Amino acid sequence: MTFKTLYPTLNIKGQNNQARLKLELYYRDHAVLQSAYYHDLVNQLQKDNFRAIKLLRHIHWNQDSRETFANVLLTVYDKTKVHLIKELISEDIARHPENDKGSLFRDNTITTALMVAILNAPPCGIYWDNVFSGIVADMNMRVKARSENTNLDEERLKSLIEEDRNRVLDALIKSVSEIPDTIRDVIRHILSEVAKKWPKRTHYPVRYLDDDNVCEVLLL
């Protein structure tokens, strides 16, 4: 594997009381890892259910490096991405405090960054765009309008929020048959692992759909 570094140089020449600027660019290759060893590295990281990658979760990442690493994982392990994310999800849930269920997946971690990368990539990203892009655009316009309307009373604001949520849930229910298997597989795994960690859970019928059981609808 090689990385290219860009080196700009600026030459200034004068002739007949006139100055000329000339910008020259050239690349220098830096060999980081010979291609012959790259396959071995990928296999090493995949050993013991991605144990090495799980250990990397504990490193402090800034947002850019976290997203970059998640996209690299998605590229390298595209064919086994579902297995990888399920392993990371299981690890996160197992290590999560039992008395703090509400904060599960709220932190910005490698696991959440990889989930976002997978959900944005085809075929999942195509599904979201087809079903929700228009709704999200309308919601953004309404959010802007709300911020500009300082006289909007609290009850009217609650009504608008409820209306937006209902639009999302309606679109979700109507598009259940179009949901990619990747999304279903990941959600099924999350629900299974959560049920093991927190076995006591109330199930609601679909007609009472809310944030607590919206994931179950995706599996219908």
pLDDT digits (tens, 9 = 90+) for 115-132: 999 999 999 999 999 998
Q: How confident is the model at residue 213 (pLDDT cuts 50, 70, 90)?
A: low
Q: Quick one: which H or E segment has residue 171?
A: helix 154-174
Determine the residue type at 72: V
Tokens of 166: 């209902």
Q: How confident is the model at residue 208 (pLDDT cuts 50, 70, 90)?
A: very low
Grouping H, G, I as helix, E, B as strand and the rest as coil, residue 211 is coil
What mean pLDDT is reported for the chain? 78
pLDDT in tens, 60-116: 788 888 888 899 899 889 999 999 999 999 999 999 998 888 888 888 889 999 999
Signed CA dihedral, 201, 131, 169, 139: sign only: positive
**196 conformational bin, left if phi > 0, alpha if psi -120 to 50, beta if neither:** alpha
Token output for 98: 């039992």
pTM equals 0.69
- Listing DSSP states for 48-60 in one string gives HHHHHHHHHTTS-
Q: Is 133 exposed, middle or buried (0-12, 13-18, 19+ CB in 10 A)?
A: exposed
pLDDT tens digits, one per residue of 19-42: 565 556 556 665 666 666 678 888
Q: What is the pLDDT of residues 144-161, one digit of tens each?
A: 777 777 676 778 778 888
Q: Which of 128, 64, 94 is nearest to 198 (CA)?
A: 94
